[in-house]
């Protein structure tokens, strides 16, 4: 058993909002895979999305007995058509609705580097994936979310997207490392507030969450939290207020 799969937090998922059908992007590994596992274990039908269908299928198969509750789907957030195709596949199975979207896929290519060593193409790729890709998924899934009547969106962001923490001399994020990633998450937060406003008069509630520093390929082996703990923080955000930015149930300054 590796560090990512150690059962550090074996409590069953216990949220006030109880989804029936959830879609998780970037779910073939890391926090997305662990969200999928926890949702399926709680009896939720999960659409496990990965860039490549083969990776989605393999990840579902690796979940063993839980695989019966999982539908693997191809969803590369950079592909202009993939999210609409995935939405059509979801609609075919659920009858046209989706009551939880975990918008999780992301990249962090400039980890540990300062801004003078950030290439413009690398910055563009990060913004395309973490911001435009996230937006593409919301555009495709919002009709299904609205149709569900009572639905949740969890936008997986990061404390690194907080301008307030960046300006706080006492906060460790003042290191200014990973500026492309941080810029993308700050932009994602603003985009998410626009989506929250768009959902205001609907039954869709949107929460922005930072999972904390977690032991995944992105977070590395030295991170504070297991993937299991980070995924729980993501999923428990379904009970956080509409338009909030939190981590572990606590508000994060914008």
Ligand X SMILES: NC(=O)c1ccc[n+]([C@@H]2O[C@H](COP(=O)([O-])OP(=O)(O)OC[C@H]3O[C@@H](n4cnc5c(N)ncnc54)[C@H](OP(=O)(O)O)[C@@H]3O)[C@@H](O)[C@H]2O)c1
Q: Which lies closer to ligand X via its Cβ, residue 118 or residue 223? A: 223
Work out the burial of residue 164: count CB atoms within 10 Å of its CB; fewer than 13 is exposed, 13-18 middle, 19 or more buried.
exposed
Instruction: Tell me: does residue 180 bind ligand X (CB under 6 A).
Output: no
Upper half-sphere CA count for residue 174 (Cβ side, 13 Å): 6
Q: Which lies closer to ligand X via its Cβ, residue 46 or residue 147? A: 46
Query: Strand 245-247 vs strand 250-251: parallel, antiparallel, or unpaired?
Result: antiparallel
- Using CB under 6 A as the binding criterion, the count of chain residues that bind ligand X stands at 32
Kindly indicate which of the ranges 15-23, 117-125, 167-175, 209-217 contains the residues binding ligand X, using the contact rule CB under 6 A.
Answer: 209-217
Q: Which of residues 211-230 bind ligand X (CB under 6 A)?
A: 211, 213-214, 216-219, 223
Q: Which of 244, 246, 239, 204 is nearest to 13 (CA)?
A: 239
Contacts for 249 with CB less than 8 Å, ≥ 6 apart: 233, 236, 240
Q: Which lies closer to ligand X via its Cβ, residue 29 or residue 85? A: 29
Q: Which of residues 105-164 bind ligand X (CB under 6 A)?
A: 105-108, 129, 133, 156, 158
Evaluate whether 199 touches 206 at the Cβ level (below 8 Å): yes
Q: Which of 239, 251, 211, 161 is nearest to 26 (CA)?
A: 211
Kindly indicate which of the ranges 47-55, 119-127, 139-147, 169-177 contains the residues binding ligand X, using the contact rule CB under 6 A.
Answer: 47-55
Q: Which lies closer to ligand X via its Cβ, residue 140 or residue 147? A: 140
Residues in touch with ligand X (CB under 6 A):
25-26, 28-32, 50-51, 55, 75-78, 104-108, 129, 133, 156, 158, 210-211, 213-214, 216-219, 223
């Amino acid at each position: 058993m590796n560090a990512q799969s150690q059962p550090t937090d074996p409590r069953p998922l216990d949220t006030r909002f109880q989804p029936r059908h959830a879609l998780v992007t970037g779910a073939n590994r890391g926090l997305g895979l662990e969200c999928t596992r926890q949702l399926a274990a709680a009896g939720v039908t999960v659409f496990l999305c990965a860039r490549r269908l083969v990776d989605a299928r393999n990840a579902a198969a690796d979940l063993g007995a839980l695989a019966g509750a999982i539908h693997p789907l191809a969803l590369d957030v950079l592909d202009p058509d993939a999210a609409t195709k995935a939405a059509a596949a979801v609609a075919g199975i659920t009858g046209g609705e989706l009551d939880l979207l975990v918008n999780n896929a992301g990249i962090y290519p400039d980890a540990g580097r300062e801004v003078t060593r950030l290439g413009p193409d690398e910055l563009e790729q990060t913004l395309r994936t973490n911001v435009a890709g996230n937006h593409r998924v919301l555009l495709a899934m919002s009709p299904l979310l609205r149709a569900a009547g009572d639905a949740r969106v969890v936008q997986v962001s990061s404390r690194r997207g907080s301008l307030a923490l960046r300006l706080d001399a006492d906060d460790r994020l003042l290191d200014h490392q990973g500026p492309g990633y941080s810029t993308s998450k700050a932009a994602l937060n603003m985009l998410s507030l626009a989506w929250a406003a768009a959902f205001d008069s609907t039954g869709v509630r949107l929460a922005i969450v930072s999972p904390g520093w977690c032991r995944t390929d992105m977070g590395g082996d030295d991170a504070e939290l297991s993937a299991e703990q980070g995924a729980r923080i993501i999923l428990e955000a379904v009970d956080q207020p509409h338009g909030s930015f939190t981590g572990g149930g606590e508000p994060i300054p914008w």
